[in-house]
Amino acid sequence: MRLLHTSDWHIGRTFHGHSTLDALRGVLLELAEAVRREQVDVVLVAGDVFDSATPAAAAFELFEEAVLAIRSAGASVVMTSGNHDSAARLGHQAPFAAAGGVHVRTRADALDRPVELADEHGTVDVFGIPFLEPLLVGGRTHAEALQRAMGRVHAAVRDRGNRAVVLAHCFASAGVVPQAAGGERDITAGGLDVVPSAVFDGTDDAPISYVALGHLHSRMRLAEHVRYAGAPLHYSFGETSPLRGAWLVDLDAGGLAEVRWLDLSVPRRLTEIVGALDDLLVDRALADREQDWIQAVLTDPVRQQDAMAKLRRRFPFVARLEHRPEGVRPADARSYGERTAGLPDAQLIAGFLEHVRAGAGPSAAETRLVSEVLTAVQAAERAA
DSSP states of 288-352: GGTTSEEEEEE--SSPPTTHHHHHHHH-TTEEEEEE--TTPPPPP-S-HHHHHTT--HHHHHHHH
Query: Amino acid identity of 209?
Result: S
Average of per-residue pLDDT values in the chain: 88
Split at pLDDT 50, 70, 90, the class of 339 is low
The amino acid present at 383, given as its one-letter code, is A
CB-based contact 59:21 (threshold 8 Å)? yes
Q: Which residues contact 215 (CB under 8 A, 6 or more apart)?
A: 7, 8, 46, 47, 48, 82, 83, 169, 170, 171, 189, 190, 192, 228
Chain-centroid distance of CA 336 in Å reads 37
Residues 291 and 349 in one domain: no
Residue 335: what pLDDT?
58
pLDDT tens track for 11-44: 999 998 899 999 999 999 999 999 999 999 999 9
Residues 135 and 199 in one domain: yes
Mean of pLDDT values over 197-207: 93
Do 354 and 234 fall within a single domain? no
Say which range, 110-114, 260-264, 326-330, has the weakest mean pLDDT: 326-330
Residue numbers of the domain that contains 15: 2-263
The answer to whether residue 79 is domain-embedded is yes
Span 90-102, average pLDDT: 93
Q: By percentage, how much of the chain surpasses pLDDT 90?
A: 71
In a shared domain, residues 44 and 87: yes
For residues 209 and 238, state if they share a domain.
Answer: yes
Do 289 and 357 lie in one domain? The reply is: no
Q: What angle do CA 86, 88, 91 make, to 5 degrees?
A: 100
Mark out the alpha helices in the chain (DSSP H runs): 21-38, 57-72, 87-90, 94-99, 134-137, 142-160, 277-280, 307-314, 336-340, 345-356, 364-383
Q: With a cut of 60, say whether residue 120 has pLDDT above it.
A: yes
| pLDDT digits 0-9 by tens, 240-278 | 788 999 999 999 999 999 999 999 999 999 999 999 999
Shared-domain flag, residues 72 and 142: yes
Q: Helix, strand or coil for residue 226?
A: strand
CA distance 307 to 194: 41
| Contact predicate 272/295, CB 8 Å | yes
Residue whose C-alpha is closest to residue 100's, from 132, 136, 64, 147: 64
218: pLDDT strictly greater than 80: yes
CATH (domain of 231): 3.60.21.10
**Residues contacting residue 222 through CB under 8 Å, at least 6 positions apart:** 172, 173, 174, 197, 213, 228
Burial 364-376 (b: 16+ CB within 10 A, else e): eeeeeebeeeeee
Centroid of chain to Cα 100: 30
Name the DSSP class of 198. Answer: G
Q: What is the pLDDT of residue 189?
A: 56
